[in-house]
């Protein structure tokens, strides 16, 4: 995922195993990809940056075992801190 993110002009910051989710106990992970500010203007139909959508699709292609629901979102706390020059919150 790190190389894929770099190819999109993004920075892979990490992945965290969040345990399981739902009645089927599906594995749940959080992936952090830092998207350049200019890329936030390019939105997918889902409303998040196109680069995030491309990463989501890459996860679906790469980790296709079982049935996964990959979602994309912008971490507003980390984004705001980066823009304002404040200390960026730790990855949860």
Q: What is the pLDDT of residues 5-23, one digit of tens each?
A: 999 999 998 888 877 766 6
Q: Is the pLDDT of residue 82 over 70?
A: yes
- What are the sequence ranges of the domains in the chain? 2-84
pLDDT for residue 78 is more than 70: yes
Helix (H, G, I), strand (E, B) or coil at 6: helix
Q: Quick check: 55 and 73 in contact, CB under 8 A?
A: no
Q: Tell if the pTM clears 0.85, that is, is over it.
A: no
The confidence score (pLDDT) of residue 4 equals 92
Mean pLDDT across the chain: 82
Scored b (16 or more CB within 10 A) or e, 64-73 reads: eeeeeeeebe
- Rounded-to-10 torsion of CA 36, 32, 62, 27: -160
Each residue of 29-73: pLDDT tens digit?
A: 888 888 888 888 899 898 888 998 898 888 888 876 655 666 666
Task: Specify whether the CB–CB gap between 81 and 87 falls below 8 A.
Answer: yes
Phi/psi at 37 (5° precision): -55, -40
């Amino acid at each position: 995922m790190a190389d894929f993110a770099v190819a999109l002009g993004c920075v892979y910051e990490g992945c965290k195993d969040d345990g399981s989710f739902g009645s089927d106990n599906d594995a749940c992970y959080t992936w952090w990809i830092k998207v350049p500010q200019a890329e936030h203007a390019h939105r997918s139909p889902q409303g998040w940056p196109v680069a995030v959508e491309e990463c989501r699709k890459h996860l679906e292609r790469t980790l296709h075992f079982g049935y996964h629901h990959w979602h994309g979102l912008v971490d507003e706390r980390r984004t705001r801190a980066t823009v304002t020059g404040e200390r960026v919150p730790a990855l949860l």
